[in-house]
């Protein structure tokens, strides 16, 4: 089977690519990535020479390039993760999100449809999406697969739009697809613009920890390898034209999460208890900040037997250990453009 993974040099994509390359020697895995600031081939250095792995540098917005690679490699499956993924960046530059997340997805859908249109059997377009498309919850309730879409940020609006296109290609042209909507991931290789890796890096550097608003926003956190395992399972066993929610059964208010992180970091760095907490600084809130996300993952649990394999405390410890053991990775991604971004966002 020839499988195209898009965005495989990014955070979640690199874990998905590694898993597929290691577990399916009989597949050919093609990783298509344009290597934006978030894409990093260092994430995949351990498998880069594997016989069943090929890296393709290209942009999903480039229609003729996309058509060309579908023609050349005759993919039978697509696992689509490439995206602009950071909410704060979408507030500054929405159009970049429209281009990659919407137009890029439609280019891939068109190429898959053109290649597969005479025989859809044993083909699959897997679109990796987010729980943010459902908008914000109040204090109660969970997102179900049937929850109405209600996106609030340019990022979530672009992901919602791409989800609708995937579904529409299923309804209109019969394209075989699956969509998953997952909650917040954390783990190794996470770019330090997102809450957990940003705060780990700032604690190492003794810099302020910028908590937005009152810190009482809630997210449902999932260890990235558990997401990669869910993607593998849904790609192989999920039902066509279905959506599956994926979540960690693990809700945390930001401020409680940050305090736990501070405690674990103090222990790892042998600093006196309470040192990192002193870095917490409340800053101006994110515009349109969604109050709470929480996933009901009972469909994937009942149908496919998936559930998270690590507790949050275990996953967080693994994550911290990875960052402390990979100082060079962290230094490389926080030099150059990162400093400009950080200055604009936080100073
Ligand atoms: P990321 O930002 O770490 O990685 C995105 C990757 O896509 C990068 O390697 C980047 O170079 C590549 N890319 C971006 N634009 C591209 C383009 N035009 N052409 C080709 N490649 C391009 O993102 P992530 O956090 O790994 O998220 C991956 C996917 O999972 C996204 O679709 C995101 O919406 C979804 N998702 C993320 C989370 C999360 O918590 N991070 C949760 C649920 C769903
Ligand atoms: O829910 C899934 C989504 O999770 C994914 O679709 C997105 O790609 C991913 O980026 C993530 O979005 P969030 O906006 O929830 O993640 P982020 O790490 O940016 O923020 C988590 C929470 O922490 C959120 O309430 C905002 C807050 N925050 C974030 C940053 C970067 C802060 O308080 N301070 C910060 O500096």
Ligand 2 atom nearest the C-alpha of 193 is: 31
Predicted confidence at residue 42, as pLDDT, reads 97
104 Cα–ligand 1 center, Å:
12
Do the bridges between strand 218-223 and strand 251-253 make them parallel or antiparallel, or are there none, so unpaired? antiparallel
196 Cα–ligand 2 center, Å:
9
Predicted confidence at residue 336, as pLDDT, reads 87
Predicted confidence at residue 28, as pLDDT, reads 98
Dist CA 330 CA 191 (whole Å): 9
Which has the closest alpha carbon to 148: 164, 166, 162?
164
55 Cα–ligand 2 center, Å:
29
Predicted confidence at residue 2, as pLDDT, reads 98
Predicted confidence at residue 347, as pLDDT, reads 85
Q: Of 34, 83, 183, which is best to mutate to test ligand 1, by the most ligand atoms within 8 angstroms of its C-beta? A: 83
**Active site members:** 131-132, 155
Q: Which ligand is nearest to the CA of 293?
A: 2
Three-class DSSP labels, 6-72: ECCCCHHHHHHHHHHHHHCCCCEEEEEECCCCCCCHHHHCCCCCCCCEEEEECCCCCHHHHHHHHHH
Predicted confidence at residue 40, as pLDDT, reads 97
- Domain spans, the chain: 2-190+221-251+291-311
Predicted confidence at residue 284, as pLDDT, reads 97
Q: Can you give the pLDDT of all 347 residues of the chain as single tens digits?
A: 999 999 999 999 999 999 999 999 999 999 999 999 999 999 999 999 999 999 999 999 999 999 999 999 999 999 999 999 999 999 999 999 999 999 999 999 999 999 999 999 999 999 999 999 999 999 999 999 999 999 999 999 999 999 999 999 999 999 999 999 999 999 999 999 999 999 999 999 999 999 999 999 999 999 999 999 999 999 999 999 999 999 999 999 999 999 999 999 999 999 999 999 999 999 999 999 999 999 999 999 999 999 999 999 999 999 999 999 999 999 999 998 999 999 999 98
Dist CA 268 CA 233 (whole Å): 34
**DSSP codes joined into one string, 151-202:** --SHHHHHHHHHHHHHHHHHHHH---EEEEEE-EEESTT--TTSHHHHHHHH
Predicted confidence at residue 160, as pLDDT, reads 99
Predicted confidence at residue 191, as pLDDT, reads 98
Predicted confidence at residue 188, as pLDDT, reads 98
pTM of the prediction?
A: 0.99
Q: Which residues line ligand 2 (CB under 6 A)?
A: 85-87, 130-132, 183-184, 194-195, 198, 210-212, 217, 219, 254, 286, 293
User: In Å, what is the CA distance from 101 to each residue of 16, 104, 154, 157?
Assistant: 19, 6, 11, 10
**Domain 2-190+221-251+291-311 superfamily per CATH:** NAD(P)-binding Rossmann-like Domain (3.40.50.720)
Sheet with 2-6, side-by-side order of all strands: 53-57, 28-33, 2-6, 77-80, 124-130, 177-182, 242-246
């Amino acid at each position: 089977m020839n499988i195209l993974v898009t965005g495989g040099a990014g955070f979640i994509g690199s874990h998905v690519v590694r898993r597929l390359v290691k577990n399916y020697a009989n597949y050919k895995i093609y990783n298509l990535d344009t290597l934006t600031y978030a894409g990093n081939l260092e994430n995949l250095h351990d498998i880069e020479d594997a016989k069943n792995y090929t890296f393709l540098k290209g942009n999903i917005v480039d229609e003729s390039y996309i058509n060309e690679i579908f023609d050349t490699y005759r993919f039978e499956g697509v696992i689509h993760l490439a995206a602009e993924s950071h909410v704060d960046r979408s507030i500054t530059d929405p159009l970049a999100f429209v281009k990659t997340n919407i137009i890029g997805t439609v280019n891939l859908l068109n190429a898959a449809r053109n290649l597969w249109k005479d025989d859809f059997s044993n083909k699959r377009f897997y679109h990796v999406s987010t729980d943010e498309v459902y908008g914000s919850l109040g204090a109660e309730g969970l997102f179900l697969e049937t929850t109405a879409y209600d996106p609030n940020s340019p990022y979530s609006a672009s992901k919602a739009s791409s989800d609708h296109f995937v579904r529409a290609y299923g309804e209109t042209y019969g394209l075989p697809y699956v969509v998953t909507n997952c909650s917040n991931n954390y783990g190794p290789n996470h770019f330090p613009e997102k809450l957990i890796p940003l705060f780990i890096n700032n604690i190492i550097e003794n810099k302020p920890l910028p908590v937005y608003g009152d810190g009482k926003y809630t997210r449902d956190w999932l260890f990235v390898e558990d997401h990669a395992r869910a993607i593998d399972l849904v790609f192989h066993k999920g039902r066509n034209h279905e959506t599956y929610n994926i979540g960690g059964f693990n809700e945390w208010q930001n401020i409680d999460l940050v305090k736990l992180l501070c405690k674990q970091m103090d222990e790892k760095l042998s600093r006196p208890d309470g040192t990192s907490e002193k870095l917490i600084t409340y800053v101006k809130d994110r515009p349109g900040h969604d109050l709470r996300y929480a996933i009901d993952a009972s469909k994937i649990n009942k149908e496919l037997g998936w559930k998270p394999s690590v507790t949050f405390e275990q996953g967080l410890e693994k994550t911290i250990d990875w960052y402390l053991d990979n100082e060079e990775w962290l230094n490389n991604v926080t030099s150059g453009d990162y400093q400009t971004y950080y200055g604009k966002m936080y100073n």
